[in-house]
Amino acid sequence: MTPGPYRLTLPQRRTTSVVFASPHSGSYYPGEFLARSVLGEKTIRSSEDAFVDVLLDRVPDLGAPLLAAVAPRAYVDLNRAADELDPALIDGFRAPAHNPRVASGLGVVPRVVSGGRAIYAGKLPLHEVKARIADWWHPYHDRLQILLDESRLRFGQAILIDMHSMPHEALDVATVPGRPRPDVVLGDRYGTSASAAIVEAVDAAFIRAGFRTVRNTPFAGAYIAQAYGRPTRAQHVVQVELDRALYMNEAEVRPNGNFAGFQRILAGVLADIAAIGRAEDRLAAE
């Protein structure tokens, strides 16, 4: 039986303007997709934000909703625009690749997984690509906007915490020689997707828990931060990237021995972030 296009877990009572979402943790791989792919099981999961949804499973206890993807990023990427179509992948589609993400094979229906490894031996028909977008992309984004609209109506503003994970080696470019390696990258598209006060508060929550943070390098935020981050309309987005090595074995795509402890520490961070959404008047005034 095919599952629904997303998993939404609501609190018994919403007490914060914060919405948590995990657009890349989907792990439902349709059989026909796996049959068509030339990649092995572990390789095809290399782009997946594995277990991020599990790390967030206590969020509803904080009074905040949790929206999580079901389909994997390799099948349809919810952090891309619906029109980021790849002519190198789609049979009969002639439009030019209009941005670097699409040109590199990372459009809304990806051509490659991490490391540039091709998913398919050939091209996909346009109708299949459009079906994936209709069946998986649009329902997720429709629900996400509803959740943000509800927060703005109830609390005067909405704060989306867009949760992701990153390969350990991705932090090489963010590591300053002679300084400790960062654990978390916060992206606000260089100050355009969220107010400075909210980003500072999210940053402080991680730092209090002992995490080392950096901003916007190497991940400033992609489509979701760009499309939904509207601080002047009281709608803020902060993208959070967690170092996978802190809680999982990347090669085996399984939790490591630190998983439970990391989840406990992260739970405290998430509680502090949820509390930001109960202090929006103070933050808006700063």
Is the pLDDT at 157 greater than 50, yes or no?
Answer: yes
1 in a domain, yes or no? no
The alpha carbon torsion through 242, 117, 123, 91 (nearest 10 deg) reads: 60
Task: Report the domain count for the chain.
Answer: 1
Is the pLDDT at 286 greater than 60, yes or no?
Answer: no
What 30-36 contacts at long range (C-beta under 8 Å, 24+ apart), as own/partner pairs, is: 30/2, 30/71, 30/75, 33/75, 36/120
The per-residue pLDDT of the chain, averaged, comes to 94
- What residue numbers bound the domain in which 33 lies? 6-285
Is the pLDDT at 116 greater than 80, yes or no?
Answer: yes
Is the pLDDT at 179 greater than 90, yes or no?
Answer: no
The single-letter DSSP state of residue 120 is: B
**Beta carbons within 8 Å of 87's beta carbon, 6+ residues apart:** 93, 94, 95, 96, 97
144 pLDDT band, cuts 50/70/90, is very high
pTM: 0.95
> What was the pLDDT predicted at 153?
96
97 pLDDT band, cuts 50/70/90, is low
CATH code, domain with 174: 3.40.630.40
Cis peptide leading into residue 218 (ω within 30°): yes
Q: Tell me the backbone φ, ψ of residue 20, rounded to 5 degrees.
A: -105, 140
112 in a domain, yes or no? yes
> What was the pLDDT predicted at 284?
45
- What is the C-alpha to C-alpha distance for residues 161 and 107, in angstroms, rounded to an integer? 22
> What does the pLDDT look like over 256-284, one tens digit per residue?
999 999 999 999 999 999 999 997 544 44
**Beta carbons within 8 Å of 205's beta carbon, 6+ residues apart:** 269, 272, 273, 276
| Structural element, H or E, at residue 96 | none
> What was the pLDDT predicted at 170?
87
131 in a domain, yes or no? yes
> What was the pLDDT predicted at 150?
98
